[in-house]
Amino acid sequence: MPKLQEAVDALETLYPLRYAESWDAPGLIVGDLDAPVTRIAFAADPTHAVIEQAIGWHADLLVTHHPLFFRAVHETSGAGVHGAIVSALYRHGCALWVGHTNADAAFRGVGQAAADAFGLQDLRPLEPIDDPQSPHAVGIGRVGRLPQPMPLRDFARIVACELPHTEYGIQVAGELDAPVSTVAVLPGSGDSMFDVVRASGADVYVTSDLRHHPATDALEQARWEASLRRQGLHAGSGDGHMRPALINTPHSAIESLWFRYALDDVPAAVETRSGERPEVTWIDTRTDPWDLVIR
């Protein structure tokens, strides 16, 4: 029977902790390393409702993308929901492992899963990580090309159809009939990466949590550079259309595409170490925070 230590070793081989951003603290959050692991549940967020479902399914291990603790804590009492979650996990023998920015960057991780879901080819990391130990290109985000150019509005529909349903939906900014071929994808909050995206030559940037001022500045710059190119001047990249256009997606929805790969990759890696394959499930309860959108 696999032990939690073997499951953690498998996870941290697939999604190395060395890929994590300096501010991030992924890895094993709750659990005893010698405990058996026969059932692994996956979910985007370790909300109280998700924890209850994992426990109800008798999971020995819950793997989430988002951390339970984003910042340092000084208590985990039952007065707070995080303390209640830790207590419930220990009482029911369910460990918690988090794959956050390390899973973002990994091969067959969050960024690659989203890019593959949208049909992109010839993928490369948007912001590469130099890892001599990996036979694959790894790093934050992905840049790829569509098999055939298509109007922005049609590509946006592909993105919307591939994502799990949320009330928030997606938002699109740009010339809707302009052809797009090269696409940059960064699941999660991505408005700090506009300079990197422009340098990539992407026609459209798919990300999440775009704030008003950074997005407005990026769009204004794209429009200005397009006007300069139409005058025959060298500015930015591409033709006379504004590039990159923007597609804003719900944060947890785009990141949860990762589980299409993890549901196969993780149990296979555990089986390689232990000789036994754990049972898995995806808790796909919507954890996007918005319940109503009024247009």
- Residue matched to tokens 């960064």: 186
Residue 251 is assigned to a ligand binding site: no
pLDDT of residue 79: 84
Residue ranges for the chain with pLDDT beneath 50: none
pLDDT of residue 279: 98
Q: What is the CATH T-level fold of the domain 4-99+255-282, as seen in this structure?
A: 3.40.1390
pLDDT of residue 240: 76
| pTM metric for this prediction | 0.94
Domain boundaries, the chain: 4-99+255-282, 107-249
Residue 65 is assigned to a ligand binding site: yes
pLDDT of residue 73: 82
**8 Å CB contact between 173 and 216:** no
Element (H, E) at 128: strand 121-129
pLDDT of residue 164: 94
What letter does residue 258 receive in the DSSP assignment? Answer: G
| Domain 107-249 indexed as CATH 3.40.1390.30 | yes
CATH topology agreement for domains 4-99+255-282 and 107-249: yes
Residue 122 is assigned to a ligand binding site: no
**Region of residue 216 (phi > 0: left; psi between -120 and 50: alpha; otherwise: beta):** alpha
